[in-house]
Amino acid sequence: MIAQLRIDDRLIHGQVALVWTKELDTPGIVVANDNAASNEMVQMTLKMATPTGKKLLIRSVDEAIKVFNNPKGKGMRMFALTNNVADALKIAQNVDDIDGINVANVGRFADNSEGETHQVGSTLMLSDSELAALKELVKLDTPVFQQVVPSNQKASIASMLKNK
């Protein structure tokens, strides 16, 4: 079961490693990212950023979906991370047991070759395709919100998208 699926373009960093892992109290982190799954340097960096005592799985998006749907893991709470909206949408469409989707930090470091960027909240700068994927994500049954750190109030992504 996914306690939280967080979309964060930095994947594991200080907020995630020090704050969210304690807040969610999950035994492990699953990074669902095709690039990270195939890049040893990225894997090494993510392992170094993982808090002591937490298990880390780095899988492609398709392999992560298999992990999340594996009956052996149904009772285990997992903190899932991906760095883009399209991957989160694919996971949410293929995994039933997700408590919430936190669209935290997207597009701040991206080279947007698609053209116009849509600012949705202070830490979400979305391309046209990301905005379309986010609109699809909020149509699903899982709560979709923005909460950069636990001390922030949850902001409804559906409300943030009303004028987009």
Spatial distance between the Cα atoms of 143 and 15, rounded to a whole number of angstroms: 21
The catalytic residue among 7, 13, 24, 32 is 13
* Active site (annotated) includes residue 118: no
Residues whose CB falls within 8 Å of the CB of residue 99, separated by 6 or more in sequence, listed in order? 1, 2, 3, 4, 142, 143
3-state secondary structure of 60: coil
HSE-up of residue 21 (Cα within 13 Å, Cβ side): 21
3-state secondary structure of 73: helix
Element spanning 28, H or E:
strand 28-32
Catalytic positions, written as ranges: 13
